[in-house]
Amino acid sequence: MDAITIQPIGEIHSPYKTPGNMPIQGVFGPDVEAWIELKEEYVSGLKGLEGFSHAVILYYFHQSQREDLQAMPFLEQVKHGIFAIRSPHRPNHLGFSIIKINSIVDNKIYFSQVDILDGTPVLDIKPYVKYFDQRDNVKSGWIDKHFKHGKIPHSTIIREKTKDEATKA
Amino acid sequence: MDAITIQPIGEIHSPYKTPGNMPIQGVFGPDVEAWIELKEEYVSGLKGLEGFSHAVILYYFHQSQREDLQAMPFLEQVKHGIFAIRSPHRPNHLGFSIIKINSIVDNKIYFSQVDILDGTPVLDIKPYVKYFDQRDNVKSGWIDKHFKHGKIPHSTIIREKTKDEATKA
């Protein structure tokens, strides 16, 4: 299996310049807006996307400097395999988010449910399709216990480091 | 934005050697099984994935030889932008599927809901999490009309080409 070369198709403009205060997943996000700036040459590929409420975007975790095989996710203090968590510090550093499309103007897609850092290179955009992308009888492994009885855990927003912690990091 | 180099972490072993008879999305698939053969060096990254019923996998559409900016999806005879359809013939040829995990044995993940060709290079595996990856009030653009009143359209399975069509292609 040979290496594959990927060329970014655009870039994220996000209010989150660092992970502090960013939600761990877009669905937990406050009502802030970001946008994708698509390279001009791809604009005709957006035709029809405006009819979808949500999109899947694939991107590159450009700020990650390492690859872990096991790590502690934000929700708990136990290590899990990297393929059982959503950490950016993973082989190939590929990210996947579901965004809520607000509007599309020329080469810009404005969206909410933002869990992506500013400057992130975008690799693909796909329509989110409820008939394809929702499943029944889903078991969510170690995550289920954190959402028992419909509760949302506190740690769905990444805690901003105190000045003291930031100096040490 | 610089080019990004990706190294496959494994490979798909699928009963589908060509697109003929393959479902357009795994959720429409018959009860066939495929498996991911993960490179040995990544096996410890699977710890905890066995607790999840489903996973998101990212892969490379290795059999696609072209990039369209607009194309006709299987479900209809009208062109849409590539970012509003799920065609493999897209910039960067990145694929995304939700699979149903049947079992994990050493470096092999056996799964159903298969819509991926044999030999496909795997780029990432992430847990599918209902609290992160399901959305309410989803509008699915041009696709909604094909699924009105809960119906499943006929063309969710890719038609096998007749010998005559295959010769011409």
Angle ∠(A33,A37,A38) on CA atoms, nearest 5: 135
Q: CB-based contact (8 Å) between A103 and chain B? A: no
pTM of the model: 0.92
Is residue A69 within 8 Å of residue B45, measured between CB atoms?
yes
Per residue of chain B (169 residues), give pLDDT as tens. 799 999 999 999 999 998 888 888 888 777 899 999 999 999 999 999 999 999 999 999 999 999 999 999 888 889 999 999 999 999 999 999 999 999 999 999 999 998 999 999 999 999 999 999 999 999 999 999 998 877 887 778 877 765 555 554 4
Tell me how far apart the alpha carbons of residues B86 and B104 are, in angstroms, rounded to a whole number: 28
Q: Is the pLDDT of residue A163 over 70?
A: no
Q: Look up residue B68 and give its amino acid.
A: D
Alpha helices (H) in A35-87, listed in sequence order: none
Q: Which of A3, A9, A45 sits opposite B6 (nearest CB)?
A: A3
Q: CB-based contact (8 Å) between A143 and chain B? A: yes
Report yes or no for ipTM above 0.95.
no
In terms of phi and psi (left: phi > 0; alpha: psi -120 to 50; beta: otherwise), the region of A30 is beta
| Paired tokens of A115 | 């869990």
Q: Which CATH architecture does the domain made up of A10-168 adopt?
A: Beta Barrel (2.40)
Q: Is the pLDDT of residue A153 over 90?
A: no
Angle ∠(B87,A83,A8) on CA atoms, nearest 5: 45
CB contact under 8 A, B92 and A126: no
Between β-strands B54-60 and A94-105, what pairing exists: parallel, antiparallel or unpaired? unpaired
CB contact under 8 A, A5 and B1: no
Is residue A56 within 8 Å of residue A103, measured between CB atoms?
no
CB contact under 8 A, A49 and B141: yes
Give the pLDDT band of residue A161 (cuts 50, 70, 90): low
Give the pLDDT band of residue A169 (cuts 50, 70, 90): very low
SS3 B168: helix
So what's the pLDDT on residue B158? 79
CB contact under 8 A, A124 and B8: no
So what's the pLDDT on residue A148? 85
- Cα separation values, B101 from A100, B125, B134, Å: 28, 11, 18
CB contact under 8 A, A132 and B92: no
Q: CB-based contact (8 Å) between B119 and chain A? A: no
Q: CB-based contact (8 Å) between B125 and chain A? A: yes
Q: Is the pLDDT of residue A23 over 90?
A: no
Q: Look up residue A46 and give its amino acid.
A: L
Q: CB-based contact (8 Å) between A74 and chain B? A: no
pLDDT digits (tens, 9 = 90+) for A87-131: 999 999 999 999 999 999 999 999 999 899 999 999 999 999 999
pLDDT digits (tens, 9 = 90+) for A32-74: 999 999 999 999 999 999 999 999 999 999 999 999 999 998 8
CB contact under 8 A, B42 and A140: no
Is residue A71 within 8 Å of residue A60, measured between CB atoms?
no
Domains of chain A, residue spans: 10-168
Question: What's the gap in Å between the CA of B141 and the closest CA on chain A?
Answer: 4
So what's the pLDDT on residue B14? 95
Tell me how far apart the alpha carbons of residues B93 and B81 are, in angstroms, rounded to a whole number: 15
